[in-house]
Amino acid sequence: MANSERPSSENPLGTVSPLSDGDHAATAEADGTLKLVGVATPTNVAGGVLLAALRAWNRRRRSRKRERGDGSTDPTGKQETSPTHPSNIAKSGSTLTRPNISSKSTKDEVPTEESGSATDGQPAGTGPTSQAPINALANTDQSAETDRRDQTSKRPTGSPALPDPHQDSALPLARTNRAVSEADSIEARRATAHQGGGQKRIDAQHARGKLTARERIKRILDPDTFEELAPYIEHRHTGFGLEQQRHSGDGVVTGFGLIDGRRVAIFAQDFTVLGGSFSEVHSLKVGRLLEAATSSGFPIISLLDSVGARIQEGVWSLAGFGDLFWRNTQASGVVPQISLMLGPCAGGAVYSPGLTDFVVMTRGNSFMFITGPEVIRTVTGEEVDVETLGGASTHAAGSGVAHFVADDENCAFALTRRLLSYLPSNNVDAPPVLAPDDTLVPDVEALDRVIPESSQVPYDVRDAIGLIADSGSFLEVQTDFAPNAVVGFARLSGHVVAFVANQPSHLAGVLDIDASDKIARFIRFSDAFNIPIVTLIDCPGFLPGSGQEHQGIIRHGAKIVYAYSEATVPKISVVLRKAYGGAYIVMSSKMIRTDVCFAWPTAEIAVMGPKGAVNILYARQLASVEPNNRDAERARLENEFQERFNSPFVAASAGHIDDVIYPRETRARVTAALEFFKDKQTTQVPKKHGNIPL
């Protein structure tokens, strides 16, 4: 201890210099009394033996003073204080221990006591009498109680009461009361957050036939599995009355839950809070959720019901949209993203669902458009209502933005749960597998009767899919958009597969711009999430016409080639009937690396059909035939061409078809091929990414 003086006959207690911050200084007064500067009273000192020794030593010293007749009071008339009082405990060399401060002092000046005088040349407290403290241990508890009462009686009037260690029994009750109060506060805050914009707005939401955000989450998830994130966060903006409209959660509910026992991330916009307008807080909460879901690998479900950007927040709202779009893009191909449109979605807000994998809309209540009817009327003079402009039917059949349409919200939730049952949680997992069920095996013999005898007669390709896949397992995607193509998910012996097919019952199954976009996007999604692709082909070619050419049928048709060529999952194709020209090449042909190509006996594989080929190849020959015999000669030439060029065995002999099979064998052969190629691995050419003709 720096600048300290050890005890001596002249200074029996010594002096102690001030200590570092948090310690307390001790000084010796001129009359020999020790004073602790800044020591709180009462103060506990560790070591019962030391306390007992000090008290005994003090009693012996006072006894000697009385024998000499020195009196028991100091010159000021103050009653002397026992050295066992915490204010008089000091450090002396290595004998004393620095006090452990437990509370603050309530006095400006700590009372002091006269120090003992030297007797027979010895400092007070030394020599034979110093053994007496050892015999005083039995009086420790009684002396401590006396000192406590003395100290209480000496507290100046009006000074704050000192803490009483004997009253600690009241603390557990105080803690309990405080815990109860905090629990009540949590419950109250939760209740407020669950009210959203208030009961009046909740009632208005119900009057429109719509549920609230929390009701929607509760219905789509497994019971009691929702774990909410950031329910109390509020916006920080002012102006236009925003400072008076702060709501817990700020109009969006985010969190995690389970669907059929599988983890999902979910968020729902709350229309009762400022119309569900997208804000800076929306961006923060949803962004954190998407980041967590992407890194953890589980699907993202968006329940959208919003008027668009929160205009009052200006650029902060727009910046939030940008961040959301970026996160949608980062999650694309990593985890499935499904958007449920349960109300309006206008302006820039529509690009978020546009970036997701599947969009589900409800009839009558959901709308999507960049500019609303009022803006269109002002700018162009066109009169259009919201349903025609951006309703469910418009986007399901016209634009292709919507993949599914539900009659109401409950149907949308059930549809979403079914869709998820076909999808893996992320791009590393395999799709969910169900145990094989013999009761789901279709009547495969009926496949022999699917194709009409005449190649000019249409049929519904969904009948063929239903007789190949497990019964009742086919879930069609984008049913109303580009109906000349059929895409969807199904199961084969419990395993998920993606079906792509031409639809002869609509436009004879030709490929046009919309069908090309529909097929290419579905192939790319299936490949991204490890779902094998089965293609059923009956296509006479691409749709001719100046309109298609001018709108870019070449560019759009190239998307199908790109998607099939890029896909690395197992690919199986079956030519049912027609496979002509460029349509045969782009529809999963052997040359674009399809793993197994089958053909039915009714397959026609050629550059074009017999009629067109005969008109070109035998034009001069037919012109030289008598008009009365020309039709018969044409029929003969067509049959000859069919046998020579269009037979599936011709393609099989060239190696472009792996096998010609009976229709009834299709389910078994496709299932076996998928089982064989389930562990398929491919080597990619090193590159940053390709440049698909968008």
d(CA 468, CA 447): 8
Terminal-residue alpha carbon distance, the chain: 81
Choosing from 347, 390, 391, 509, which is the catalytic residue?
A: 347
Ranges assigned E (strand) in 194-261: 227-229, 252-259
Choosing from 249, 276, 348, 372, which is the catalytic residue?
A: 348
Dihedral (CA of 289, 290, 295, 300) sign: positive
d(CA 509, CA 449): 19
Active site residue 276: no
Question: Which DSSP state fits 232?
Answer: S
What are the structure tokens assigned to 505, written together? 């019952």
Q: Three-state DSSP class for 571?
A: strand
d(CA 482, CA 478): 8
Beta strands at 485-492 and 475-477: parallel, antiparallel or unpaired: antiparallel
Q: Three-state DSSP class for 520?
A: helix
Choosing from 32, 38, 333, 582, which is the catalytic residue?
A: 582
H or E segment to which residue 64 belongs: helix 48-68
Residue labelled with tokens 């909460």: 285
- Whether the CB-CB separation of 305 and 360 falls below 8 Å is answered with no
Phi, psi at 422, each rounded to 5°: -95, -15
Cis before residue 42, ω within 30 degrees of 0? yes
Active site residue 583: yes
Helices (H), 356-452: 373-380, 386-390, 392-393, 409-420
Choosing from 293, 501, 528, 583, which is the catalytic residue?
A: 583
CB atoms within 10 A of CB 441: 12
What are the structure tokens assigned to 285, written together? 């909460």
Q: For residues 66, 70, 73 and 76, what is the CA-based torsion angle, rounded to 10 degrees?
A: 180
Q: Three-state DSSP class for 631?
A: helix
Catalytic residues: 347-348, 582-583
